[in-house]
Amino acid sequence: MKKLRTRNHSVVLNRSAGGDAGITFFLVILGVIMFLPLYYTVMQSFKPLDELFYYPPRFYVINPTWDNFSDLFKLMSESWVPFSRYIFNTVFITVAGVFGNLVLSSLCAYALAKVPFPGNGFFFQLIQKSLMFSSSVGGIIVFIIIAKMGWMDNLASIIVPAWCSTLGLYLMKQFMDTNVTTAVLESARLDGASEFRTFWSIAMPMVKPAWLTLIIYSFQGLWNSGASIYIYSEDLKTLNYAMTQVLTAGIARSGASAASGVIMMLVPILVFVVSQSQIIETMGSSGMKD
């Protein structure tokens, strides 16, 4: 155990070399375990047929090919619904769902964080409690509600419930608590700005990282939405559904299956890479007080 002091006498923390080595070892092993399945998916997606059925299986690809991807698209365009329809549905669900969730959550988060109306704390408690159970708990009743609304076989059945997902709202409210000072809002109010105006031109620009985080959470859920119990028309099905459908034929399509895995994971991962620093910034205020 050594205790170092730098030249300007500020204290350097106690760090043993053994500990550093142990931590590095642990991280490398665990990192490899986390990474291998994703790596293997990518490798499988580029393997030609003879390598897919090579014994014993290889961890890497020798003659990479795009065949699996073109197979996947060929399989998908064989169904009587054009392939572009599935893409359109997924993009439509994602855009409409994310947009609604963003608008409703921002408004609500702002009011909960910065407008001291009576009952404010109660509503936030409800939101916080809702994080403690998964939405599947109310699934059957939601089914009945959606059926009664006449949203069966309508994309609204996926989009509208997504508008009131609470995690994004929770994160945004917490972020506003720490990052939007009431004094700034107060001076805008004194200048005669309406509450909506204060919300839109003062508070919202200050919480850009929280926006982005909300968008990404909402996006991930919707982008991956697959088979839905509410949708039975083929021309309303999603990309994820279509891909899993063509792959049920089993082992012979393991290459195409890996290709679809790569396509589905590529988008969320890219989105995360671009926005990581903002998400981490938002998460800094994610803490919960009991």
Q: Residue 194: in which H helix or E strand, if any? A: none
Question: Binders of another protein among 150-209, rule CB under 8 A?
Answer: 160-161, 163-164, 166-167, 169, 177, 182, 186, 194-196, 199
Q: Residue 126: what residue type? A: L
Q: Residue 288: what residue type? A: M
Burial of 259 (0-12, 13-18, 19+ CB in 10 A): buried
174, 111 Cβ separation under 8 angstroms: no
The residue among 70 and 181 lying less far from another protein, judged by its C-beta, is: 181
Least distance to another protein, CB of residue 200, Å: 11
The residue among 88 and 163 lying less far from another protein, judged by its C-beta, is: 163
Q: On the CB side of 170, how many CA atoms lie within 13 Å of its CA?
A: 19
Q: Does 62 bind another protein (CB under 8 A)?
A: no
Q: Does 278 bind another protein (CB under 8 A)?
A: no
Residue in 79, 179, 220, 228 binding another protein, rule: CB under 8 A: 220
The residue among 80 and 241 lying less far from another protein, judged by its C-beta, is: 241
The residue among 111 and 206 lying less far from another protein, judged by its C-beta, is: 111
Burial of 90 (0-12, 13-18, 19+ CB in 10 A): buried
The residue among 80 and 288 lying less far from another protein, judged by its C-beta, is: 288
Alpha helices in the chain (DSSP H): 17-46, 49-52, 67-77, 83-114, 120-130, 139-149, 156-163, 166-179, 182-190, 195-197, 204-206, 208-223, 239-246, 254-283
124, 173 Cβ separation under 8 angstroms: yes
Look up residue 43 and give its two tokens: 């490798």
Question: Binders of another protein among 23-52, rule CB under 8 A?
Answer: 23, 26-27, 30-31, 33-35, 37-38, 40-41, 44, 52
210, 172 Cβ separation under 8 angstroms: yes
Q: Does 17 bind another protein (CB under 8 A)?
A: no
What crossing angle do the helices spanning 156-163 and 139-149 adopt, rounded to 10°?
120
Least distance to another protein, CB of residue 75, Å: 16
Look up residue 191 and give its two tokens: 């200048």
Phi, psi dihedral angles at 199 (to 5 degrees) = -60, -50
Q: Does 148 bind another protein (CB under 8 A)?
A: no
Least distance to another protein, CB of residue 91, Å: 15
| String marking each residue 98-137 x if it binds another protein according to CB under 8 A | ------xx-xx-xxxxxxxxx-xx-x--xx-xxxxxxxxx
Least distance to another protein, CB of residue 27, Å: 6
Residue in 88, 92, 99, 143 binding another protein, rule: CB under 8 A: 143
Q: Does 1 bind another protein (CB under 8 A)?
A: yes
Residue in 77, 125, 187, 286 binding another protein, rule: CB under 8 A: 286
Q: Does 282 bind another protein (CB under 8 A)?
A: yes
